[in-house]
A = this chain, B = another copy of it.
Amino acid sequence: MVVRMNNKELFSKWLSESGPEGDIVLSSRIRLARNIKDIPYPNNASDEDLLKVNTLIQDVLKDKDKVKLNYLSIDNMDELEKYIFVEKYLISPAHVKEGVYRGLLTNREENISAMINEEDHIRIQVFLSGLNLKKAWDKADMIDDLLEEKLDFAFSEKWGYLSACPTNMGTGLRASVMMHLPALNLTNNIDRMLSAISKLGLVIRGIYGEGSDSSGNIYQISNQVTLGLNENDIIDNLESITKQIIGQEKNARKRLVKEQESDLKDSIYRAFGVLKNAYKINIEEAMELISNVRLGIDMGIIDNIDPLTLNQLIVLIRPAHLKKIMDINSEGKDNDIKRAKLIRNRLL
């Protein structure tokens, strides 16, 4: 199977646009978990059940006027393509490893998508640039309505939408923002801030979800509980806390300029110099340097580079994208060299 990715399709739309508060909030995501009534969850379902779910959902969503969703069978993808979609956040690492009748629905811009037969029968996902939770929610809700017109979802008056995982019971909604918080880190305020957030019922993860490090000063912040709250409360709460974090990050940036201007400039310019010149570089270091340069752009210290180029690099330097773009056949050891070359080319 040919990987459906030319240069125009390298990036999901949210990576190539700037949204509200885009200098600190990279993206907003809404995910809705739904299951069809009277069919077992995918981990207990027979192949027949899985096929039935897959067909029902495709019938409702594929190629509709309201949203042009294209269907891809995960079983039919080659390994590289699978992991490219994982790196684009369109499918989960778990979804890649499951069996037959797993699928992905996605629009051309890759900001509206749905996983079929992952942990739940369907997980709708909307990604928008910047702090844009309400608009993302509207889009997810529209998909949900399309489905609900034709399908009966598993639902109880007491528990709300039922889900394979108890933490998703209720609204089935997970709202999250991906934030770039370098100044809070540089001023040693990040841990205090993150611990305060977790007391407010939110979860903090690294850029690639559960168990991933906060590589490159990027943090995913999402609601923990979906039960007992309505969708608007969840979204309003996350948005309000996100705005407070934005305020703290902005204050930390002001303090950096005031108190450590020359150190700040030095580390930003050096990061830029190394990114543009290194002969080999691993992901961790690249993420760190990209973060520094991005901070430099946001603070007006560096001005000859498009911040979206850096957003894109965050995804392009990951193993599957790197392998695809740099045409790497052999395993492993020269990846750091290829990664450095990719970065140099993009920063020209």
Contact = CB atoms under 8 A, between A and B. Distances in A.
Interface of A: 262, 265-266, 268-270, 272-280, 337, 340
Contact of A274 (B262, B274, B280): B274
B266 A272 contact: no
A276 B279 contact: no
A268 B279 CA distance: 9
Contacts of A266: 278-280, 340
Contact of A262 (B269, B270, B276, B337): B337
Contact of A272 (B262, B265, B277, B337): B277
Contact of A277 (B273, B279, B340): B273
A278 to B, nearest CB: 5
18 contacts: A262-B279, A262-B280, A262-B337, A265-B279, A266-B278, A266-B279, A266-B280, A268-B279, A269-B277, A269-B279, A270-B273, A270-B277, A270-B279, A272-B277, A273-B274, A273-B277, A273-B278, A274-B274
A304 to B, nearest CB: 12
Contacts of A275: 273
A284 to B, nearest CB: 15
Contacts of A276: 273, 277
Q: Chain A: interface secondary structure?
A: helix
A277 B268 CA distance: 9
Contacts of A340: 266
Copies of this protein, total = 2
Contact of A278 (B269, B278, B279, B280): B269
Contacts of A270: 273-274, 277-279
A278 B263 CA distance: 10
A244 to B, nearest CB: 32
A307 B240 CA distance: 57
A271 to B, nearest CB: 9
A20 to B, nearest CB: 31
A135 to B, nearest CB: 39
Contacts of A272: 277
A227 to B, nearest CB: 51
A200 to B, nearest CB: 38
A221 to B, nearest CB: 32
Contacts of A269: 277-279
A292 B284 CA distance: 24
A278 B276 CA distance: 13
A160 B30 CA distance: 92
Contacts of A268: 279
